């Protein structure tokens, strides 16, 4: 393994009873990148992270973290973690929770510095049990970074955050990557991957169905979306070749097609009064839906 | 970042990697201390847990020893020693059994233990912190018991009082181990039931509070409470059964065996 590969799953399979969670998954995390793992519920995202952290053992294949076994506590001293659905001791204050986690690491930053970075200073003396859902996520984020980890695993970090808190967390994540940290994050929010990720992997049914940069992901999807103001009949447009979907919201027509040029030409011919024409490549959201549907079919 | 990592030689990068993995001994000790400190803090901040376990043994001792059986104890020194021993042992059972049994089961179920396994927490820090909490609670319980002694018409020498404290504080460990064993294997709901059953059983059929009929007396040595009670008896000069060394072996054996089984289980499955 090269020095630049921090975590690796190779040919990993994992089943729980009759359910196949991962099916021969290969994943490599490179140094200094923010890697987003996307996929619908049950795709195997959390299982993949659990394996990399040594919380579960693969049925087949191998897992390495910094070239070692993730079961070694020494290996995990370079790792920060934010898990989904964890209940922390409600009686301890936020500063105390961070202080405790920081004590597990060889060279942590102070709890105050961690709270400053994560914009949680105002929560310092609040008992954890009294925080709102979003504040709990913010406190968990501070706990994840306080050990100065080289690699952060964040499982759905922004669930439950309001827009402002989410922007703040994104800012902190970018800052961490700029300072040389590597990050793996799972998310349901495609705009999160679009805003942050250097590289994206899309999982469905325990397999990787696509991986690459956000741009590459979008390029994989040939469909484009056309919107315009027109009085043309939607039913009729649906019968045109290469039109996959057409709908109307008041004046606006929305058409998804694999051949945008041909459809635009025909639209212009059919309606001389057509206005406000827009053609755009599908976003990650559309790419994601399309890829996971293809995997399912 | 890539540019930087290309500049350093593989050897330097490797050294840097290793440095991030090694914990200086001072920091390792600190991790254990912090875990213990915060375990203690959260238990003291849970009055529903702390008050009954800290206050009840001495209060009950005063109720029975200083009020209800006051006359009997004044005339029978051994009766006074029996009642004192009963409530002292009763007092050190609770924190270990409930502090471990309930909280480990709850924390396992709620994912806290999983997070701690993912984090670089020293693996032994979690059970040791809980054990420290139980031992500190036992120490407070014993301090209140010793403070209540004069009202209970019982005089112990300083040596005897110290011996009772040491025996009972260490004697809380087998109950920690039983609690841990239950907590490592059950859900939080069934842990409550199991802990309560074993708590009641040990209190009532090990001869702690009243003399037992023949059959139960014969099987009393299966209960740690019996061995602890006999050790306290011999330390305060009350008639006791069996050899001290056998009692110590029994208590140590239960502690070691159940702790080992539980730690193995927790490391595997959390």
Q: Which of A3, A79, A87 sits opposite B13 (nearest CB)?
A: A3
Averaged over B212-223, what is the pLDDT?
84
Residue B24 in domain: no
* Mean pLDDT value across chain A: 89
Torsion of CA A185, A186, A189, A192, to 10 degrees: 10
Contact B120 A105 (CB under 8 A): yes
User: Whose structure tokens read 């460990």?
Assistant: B173
Classify residue B26: in a domain, yes or no.
no
For residue B116, give its domain range.
35-269
Domain covering A5-219, topology? Rossmann fold (3.40.50)
Specify the CATH number for A222-281; select among 3.90.79.10, 3.40.1280.10, 1.20.1250.20, 3.30.70.980. 3.30.70.980
> pLDDT per residue over B93-120, tens digit each?
988 898 888 888 988 888 888 899 899 9
- Residues B5-56 have pLDDT tens digits of 333 445 666 666 666 778 888 899 999 999 999 998 988 898 887 888 888 8
Q: What are phi and psi of A159, to 5 degrees?
A: -60, 130
Does the beta-carbon distance from B21 to A147 stay under 8 Å?
no
Q: Does residue B20 lie in a domain region?
A: no
Model confidence pLDDT, tens digit, residues A44-84: 899 999 999 998 899 999 999 998 889 888 899 999 999 98
Number of compact structural domains in chain B = 1
When scoring A31, A104, A183 by the number of chain B Cβ atoms within 10 A, the one with the most, hence best to mutate, is: A104
B104 is a domain residue: yes
Residue B212 has pLDDT above 90, yes or no: no
Rounded to two decimals, the pTM is: 0.81
User: Does A4 contact chain B (CB < 8 Å)?
Assistant: yes
Q: Which pLDDT belongs to residue B270? A: 60
- Confidence class for position A284, pLDDT limits 50, 70, 90: low
What pLDDT, on a 0 to 100 scale, did the predictor assign at position A159?
A: 87
pLDDT tens digits, one per residue of A209-241? 888 888 887 777 677 889 999 988 999 999 998
pLDDT value at residue A295: 67
pLDDT given for residue A61 in this prediction: 93
Residue B8 lies in a domain: no
Under the banding of pLDDT at 50, 70 and 90, the label for residue A148 is very high
pLDDT digits (tens, 9 = 90+) for A78-87: 999 999 888 8
Number of Cβ pairs < 8 A linking chain A and chain B: 104
pLDDT in tens, B220-266: 888 999 999 999 989 888 788 888 899 999 999 999 999 988 888 88
Q: Please report, for chain A, the start and end positions of each structural domain, with discontinuous segments joined by +.
A: 5-219, 222-281
Average pLDDT, whole number, for chain B?
85
Contact (Cβ atoms closer than 8 angstroms) between residue A239 and residue A255: no
Interface check B118 vs A, CB under 8 A: yes
């Amino acid at each position: 393994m090269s020095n630049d590969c921090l975590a690796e799953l190779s040919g990993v399979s994992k089943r729980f009873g009759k359910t196949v969670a991962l099916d021969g998954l290969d994943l490599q995390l490179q140094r200094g990148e923010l890697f987003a793992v996307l996929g619908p519920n049950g795709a195997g995202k959390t299982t993949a992270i659990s394996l990399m952290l040594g919380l579960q053992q693969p049925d087949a294949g191998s897992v390495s973290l910094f070239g070692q076994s993730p079961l070694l506590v020494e290996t995990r001293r370079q790792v920060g973690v934010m898990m989904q659905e964890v209940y922390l001791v409600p009686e301890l204050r936020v500063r105390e929770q961070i202080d405790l986690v920081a004590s597990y690491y060889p060279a942590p930053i102070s709890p105050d510095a961690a709270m400053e970075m994560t914009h949680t200073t105002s929560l310092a003396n609040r008992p954890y049990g009294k925080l709102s859902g979003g504040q709990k996520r913010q406190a968990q984020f501070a706990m994840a970074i306080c050990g100065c980890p080289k690699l952060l695993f964040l499982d759905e970090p922004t669930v439950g955050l309001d827009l402002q808190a989410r922007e703040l967390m994104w800012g902190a994540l970018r800052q961490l990557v700029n300072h040389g940290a590597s990050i793996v994050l799972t998310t349901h929010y495609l705009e999160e991957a679009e805003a942050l990720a250097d590289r994206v992997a899309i999982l469905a049914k325990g397999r990787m169905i696509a991986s690459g940069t956000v741009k590459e992901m979008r390029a994989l999807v040939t469909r484009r979306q056309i919107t315009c103001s027109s009085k043309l009949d939607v039913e009729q447009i649906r019968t045109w070749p290469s039109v996959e979907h057409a709908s109307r919201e008041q004046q606006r027509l929305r058409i998804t097609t694999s051949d945008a040029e041909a459809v635009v030409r025909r639209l212009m011919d059919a309606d001389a009064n057509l206005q406000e024409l827009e053609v755009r490549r599908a976003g990650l959201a559309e790419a994601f839906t399309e890829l996971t549907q293809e995997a399912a079919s | 970042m890539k540019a930087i990592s290309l500049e350093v030689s593989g050897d330097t990068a490797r050294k840097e990697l290793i440095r991030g993995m090694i914990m200086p001994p001072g920091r390792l000790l600190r991790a254990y201390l912090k875990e213990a400190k915060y375990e203690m803090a959260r238990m003291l901040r849970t009055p529903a847990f702390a008050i009954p376990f800290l206050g009840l043994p001495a209060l009950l001792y005063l109720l029975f020893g200083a009020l209800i059986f006051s006359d009997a104890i004044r005339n029978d020194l051994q009766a006074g020693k029996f009642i004192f021993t009963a409530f002292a042992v009763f007092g050190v059972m609770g924190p270990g059994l409930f502090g471990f049994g309930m909280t480990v089961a709850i924390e396992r179920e709620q994912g806290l233990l999983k997070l701690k396994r993912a984090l670089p927490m020293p693996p032994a820090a979690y059970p040791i912190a809980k054990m420290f909490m139980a031992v500190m609670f036992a120490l407070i319980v014993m301090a209140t018991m010793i403070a209540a002694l004069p009202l209970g018409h019982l005089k112990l020498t300083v040596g005897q009082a110290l011996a009772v404290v040491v025996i009972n504080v260490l004697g809380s460990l087998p109950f920690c181990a039983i609690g841990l064993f239950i907590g490592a294997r059950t859900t939080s709901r069934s842990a409550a039931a199991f802990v309560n059953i074993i708590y009641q059983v040990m209190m009532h059929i090990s001869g702690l509070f009243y003399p037992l009929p023949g059959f139960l007396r014969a099987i009393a040595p299966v209960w740690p409470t019996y061995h602890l009670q006999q050790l306290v008896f011999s330390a305060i000069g009350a008639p006791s059964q069996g050899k001290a060394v056998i009692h110590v072996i029994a208590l140590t054996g239960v502690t070691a065996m159940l702790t080992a089984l539980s730690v193995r289980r927790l490391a595997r499955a959390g």
